[in-house]
Amino acid sequence: MKYIFTILFFAYSSLLLPQTSVCGQFHRKYCVFEDTKSENWQYNAQSKSGLFNQGMVSKLRCVIYKGMDYRISVCCETDKLGDKVNFKIYDSRTNELLFDNATADNIQNFEFQSVSTRQLVIEVMVPQGATEKDKHKATDAACVGLLIEHKITDKQGF
């Protein structure tokens, strides 16, 4: 009987493991810029990756702290979703739109200084439609990464 439970446990675990690790650390590998080390950017543990369908929207709450610079980068599997992922940043308390990359030439990263500690909501949306590379066939799902980096704001002035 123990033997059967052991086999069932390992069979069940082997089925779940690939599903949970499909996109696990995608953001750490594909959203990183060359200047990360030279400019002292540090990885922020609020970063995430996930499996997205075309047209899917997901929101992530994160805390930013006063006196810090932040860089938010979004990336995806370009061969499946193209190279443009939309993201918006909102103040979670007031729901005020602070940044929308669709109005900034679809840049995939955004740097800013925080003048106060507050919560943000980052909304990531994969556009609906086919990509150029897959001959205009829609893709079921692909990995999308949201990398948040931070560093202490450089002292300016006297």
CA dist list (Å): 116 to 66, 68, 84, 91, 152: 4, 9, 30, 12, 13
The residue that leads in pLDDT, 93 or 13, is: 93
Q: Domain extents for the chain?
A: 24-152
Domain 24-152 part of CATH 2.60.120.380: yes
Name the band, by pLDDT with cuts 50, 70 and 90, for residue 77. confident
User: Are the beta carbons of 89 and 110 closer than 8 angstroms?
Assistant: yes
65-92 mean pLDDT: 87
Q: What is the share, in percent, of the chain residues with pLDDT greater than 90?
A: 46
CA distance 73 to 76: 10
User: Are the beta carbons of 114 and 44 closer than 8 angstroms?
Assistant: no
Task: Specify the range with the lowest mean pLDDT, choosing from 93-102, 107-116, 130-139.
Answer: 130-139
Number of H helices, E strands in the chain: 3, 9
Residue 2 scores a pLDDT above 60: no
Extract the tokens encoding 130. 């086919």
Name the band, by pLDDT with cuts 50, 70 and 90, for residue 15. very low
